[in-house]
Every structure is written in C-alpha cells, then in structure tokens.
A = this chain, B = another copy of it.
Amino acid sequence: MTVVTNKGVILKAIPEEIPNVDEHFELTHRTIDIKNLNLGENEIFLRNLYLSLDPYIRFTLKKPDLDHIKVDTPIANKVPVGQVISGLGVSEVVKTNNPNYKIGDLVYGPIGWEEYSHIKSDVAPTFSPVNKELLNDIPLNYHASFLRMGGLTSYASLMAIGKPKEGETIYISAAAGSTGQLVGQIAKIKGLKVIGSTGSDEKVDFLLNELKFDAAFNYKKVDLDKTLSEYCPNGIDIYYENVGGETLEIVLNHCNQFARIVVCGMISQYNITNPKKKYGVKTLENIFLKSISMQGFLVMEYLGTDIQKEFEKDIVEWIKSDKIFYKENMIDGIENTAKGFVDIFNGKNNGKTIVKLADY
C-alpha cells in the first residue's frame, strides 16, 4: 500500500444558511505515493481513523466578517473555497520526519476531512499522543472527542463558569447533543437537579432513561415558559446554553439571583447570516436585575490548567466505573461526512457525531 487514493471533502461554496451537502461540499480524490512522499523537517503523515464533527466548524465556512475586531480564535480561521475542511480527530502515524513520533503511533490533533493528512511542521506541535494503555478500557473512538476537546468542553465550562453546587437546578438546551449529554451526567454526579430539552421524543427517552435526567422534554411540543415553571419550580441556577434565540429569552425570566449562564453555543442562530434576521432577545434586563453572569469560553483556555488535569482523572474513572457514557452518532466513511455535519444543524444527530474513516 504505497500508492493510495486520498478521498477528502472540500468547501465548494460558502453556505449562506444551513449548509447543503451537494451545494457546499465536494468529494475529491487525490492519489498519494506514500513511499516516495517527501516529508519536510518535523512533518508527519497520518492515516486518519476517527474524525469529530463539531458545530464550531460552521464558523470556519463563512466569509471573514469581523475584520475590524481583534479575534484570536480557531473559529476565525476561515476555510478558503476549494480547500479541505478541518476538524479534530485521531490518526495513526504512517510516515514521520518528526523525532516525537514513530510509525504506528496514535495521535490526536487538527486533521483534514480526508483519509490521509500531511501535517506541516507548524501544526505538528499541536498534536499529542493517544495513551495506548487506555485502549483496554476505553475504545479508540472515545479518544476523538470524549477524552479530549469534546469532554473537556463540557467538564471545564460547567465547572469553571457554571460552578455547580449540590441541590441546585441546571437546565440544558440541546441536551442530547455532544456537550449537553455530558454536562447533564456530570451535573448528576455533582448532585444537581438536571432538566434537559431536545428536539425529538426518542431523544427525550434517551435523556430520561439512559442518562437519568430528572426531567426532559421535547421543545417542539411544549410551551417552554410553562414547562420551565413546572420542572424548575425553584428557578434555574445554571443554564447551559447551546441554542440561543427565543430559548435564551425565556430562560432568563426563570433564572435565579446569581444564576450562571454557560454559553457553549447558540446553534439556532448560526445559519442566519443576515444580522437583521437574528433573534432579538428582549429579557436581558434580568442580567442586571438578578446579578446573572453569562459567559462564553474557548476550550483552549483550559488546556494545561488544573481543570484539565481534574477532567482527565475524573473522566477515566467515571468511564471505568460506568458512571458516565458518551452516546455517539457514528458516521461511516468520508463519503458521509458532509451529510453527518449538515445533520447536526437539522437536529438529526443523536449524540456526538464522529466519523469512522478507517479500521484500526
């Protein structure tokens, strides 16, 4: 296997609203002669195994529109039309000119939506090894998100911004999604009352019966204001925000004094590119009236901190002791990657979307 076909997904056109598989993405085939491939100093060549599909990627598909602002975040790195889209994933090193990696190593880092990735010397330092010893207890696919950025996102933001206290009430929107499901389980472990909403009855069952949430409901079928009054009679202490818009507007009215709003995402607004058509939230006065804090974050902020160390210790222990699990929506193959991504915005995913690119 020295000459391979590397299938990948490129950005065909910039989506104005919800991306469409045929219109905005294109599958490409490139032939690579691995044996004769020249690697520059510190470069590595990877066979990609599992790719994590995350909502933030939507922001890398837009035109830069924040030119007058200092923004130093990965979501500001736009993918040019015609180039392979990026994501985080787990790969096997198949060729290396980097002293930190040998052939056969498993690594985690920013790869392309493609079967093989040639990692340049400036990006190579952002990769880190996968601890193979953990594979006895924890499957490799969990290393693409659950044990890494995905899990850390939920854990660190809940702990650092949400500051959960036993007996408090947390409400989680998009609770069956990649961050929501973990946040809910961690909050249960910490002794909170956990309420979640999601977009299908099947997912409500999942939250109630598999994740053991205290209450869950299908937001499409209820009056949110009344439902929150019913399920959160003592008000909301933490709102884990994934959706934005009208949901946020209603939740603010149910927040308690000193409530914390962890802004992980506002998925209802991402695909509205006309700023005038975004939802206008009318209840922000609550922030003043009830001394609420509302905070966005970058998971990168927590890398190298005590919170990351606590996360790594807790998460492995919780998985081994069956206290926590991670529902994955496993997509098969690069050919289905674009569809898997688009489905996130249509609410068709159930759990964290991961693409299996190759057997290991």
The 9 closest A-B pairs by CB, nearest first: A280-B280, A293-B295, A278-B282, A291-B296, A287-B296, A288-B296, A280-B282, A294-B294, A69-B235
Contact A269–B295 (Cβ < 8 Å): no
> A221-251: contact bitstring with B at CB < 8 Å (1 yes, 0 no)?
0000000010001110000000010001100
> Quick one: closest B residue to A267, CB to CB?
B288
Closest to A59 in B: B289
Pick out which of these stretches binds chain B: A109-117, A257-265, A308-316: A257-265
Which residues between 50 and 104 of chain A lie within 8 Å of chain B, taking CB atoms?
Answer: 59, 66, 68-73, 75
- Residues of chain B with a CB closer than 8 A to A72's CB: 257
Task: Show 9 residue pairs from A and B whose CB-CB distance is below 8 angstroms, ordered by the A residue.
Answer: A68-B233, A69-B256, A70-B234, A71-B290, A269-B284, A280-B282, A292-B296, A294-B294, A295-B295
* Chain B residue at minimal CB-CB distance from A293: B295
- CB pair A235–B68 under 8 Å, yes or no, is yes
**Which residues of B lie under 8 Å from residue A291 when comparing CB positions?**
73, 295-298, 301
Q: Given the complex, which residues of B lie within 8 Å of A296, measured CB to CB?
A: 287-293
Residues on B with beta carbons closer than 8 Å to the beta carbon of A253: 69
Q: Is A279 an interface residue (CB 8 A)?
A: yes
A288 touches B275 (CB 8 A): no
Are the CB atoms of B280 and A285 closer together than 8 Å?
no
Complex interface: chain B residues within 8 A of A254 (CB): 68-69
Measured CA separation A172–B264 after assembly (Å):
27
Most buried by B among A69, A235, A276: A69
Task: Name which of A265, A266, A289, A295 has the most chain B CB atoms within 10 A of its CB.
Answer: A289
List of B residues within 8 angstroms of A32 by Cβ: none
- Across the interface, which residues of B come within 8 angstroms of A283, CB to CB? 275, 278
Which of B234, B235, B244, B288 sits near A265, CB closer than 8 Å?
B288
Instruction: Give the Cβ gap from A266 to chain B, nearest Cβ, in Å.
Output: 5
Contact A284 B266 (CB under 8 A): yes
A138 CB-CB contact with B under 8 Å: no
Given the complex, which residues of B lie within 8 Å of A233, measured CB to CB?
A: 68
User: Closest CB-CB distance, A265 to chain B, in whole Å?
Assistant: 6
Flag if A266 contacts B288 (CB, 8 Å): yes
Flag whether A281 is at the interface (Cβ < 8 A): yes
Instruction: Kindly state the separation between the CA atoms of A73 and B258 in the bound complex, as whole angstroms.
Output: 10
A73 touches B278 (CB 8 A): no
Shortest C-beta distance, A90 to chain B (Å), equals 26
A70 to B351, CA, bound (A): 34
CA distance in complex: A66, B256 (Å): 10
Q: A279-B282, A295-B292 are in contact. Are A257 and B71 (CB under 8 A)?
A: yes
Known: A263-B287, A263-B288. 5 other contacts (CB 8 A): A69-B235, A69-B255, A70-B256, A264-B288, A287-B294
Question: In the assembled complex, which residues on chain B have CB atoms less than 8 Å from the CB atom of A69?
Answer: 235, 253-257, 290
A283 and B289 alpha carbons, distance in the complex (Å) = 21
Chain B residues with CB below 8 A from A281, complex form: 280-282, 284
- Which residue on B lies nearest to A228, using beta carbons? B68
